[in-house]
């Protein structure tokens, strides 16, 4: 029986490994408060390129397609790192390794999901016809 109104079948997050805890559904409001976990981030080289090799490689379907860039859902990512080596433009970084000039992309990746929430998989949605305002305001990147 679920405890304290828990609709996930009584799962106690604290009893799960850290990576598994993040894959459980969280409300969109929790995304901006994520301070306890590290994830992968898609940065500037992906803007207007969107090769999508990372989408094919991702085992948990957490890479969503915006109008001009791809975004990794911070609550759905299990930090396996499968996406990073297959990116042909080297746009994917572990959060702690994002180059200084691209640090704003972490915030853009997190905030992209504020309205979207956690749908539980990118393939359900397909192309999302918007981007984070930071990405949308960039000049065209690809030739």
Q: Where are the domains of the chain?
A: 26-136
Domain 26-136: give its CATH code. Answer: 3.30.70.20
Name beta bridge partners: 94.
40
pLDDT of residue 37: 58
Q: What's this model's pTM, rounded to 2 decimal places?
A: 0.74
Mean pLDDT, 10 residues at a time, over the chain (143 residues)? 45 44 40 56 97 97 97 94 97 96 95 92 95 97 72
């Amino acid at each position: 029986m679920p405890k304290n109104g828990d609709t996930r079948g009584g799962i106690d997050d604290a009893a799960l490994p850290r990576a598994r805890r993040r894959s459980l559904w969280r409300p969109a409001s929790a995304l901006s408060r994520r301070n306890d976990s590290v994830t992968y981030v898609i940065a500037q080289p992906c803007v207007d390129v969107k090769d999508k090799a990372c989408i094919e490689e991702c085992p948990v379907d957490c890479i969503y397609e915006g109008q001009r860039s791809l975004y990794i859902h911070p609550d759905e990512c299990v930090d396996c790192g499968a996406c990073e080596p297959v990116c042909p433009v080297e746009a994917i970084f572990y959060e702690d390794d994002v180059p200084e000039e691209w640090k704003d992309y972490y915030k853009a990746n997190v905030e992209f999901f504020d309205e979207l929430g956690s749908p539980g998989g990118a393939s359900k949605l397909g192309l999302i016809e918007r981007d984070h305002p930071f990405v949308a305001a960039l000049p065209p990147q690809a030739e």
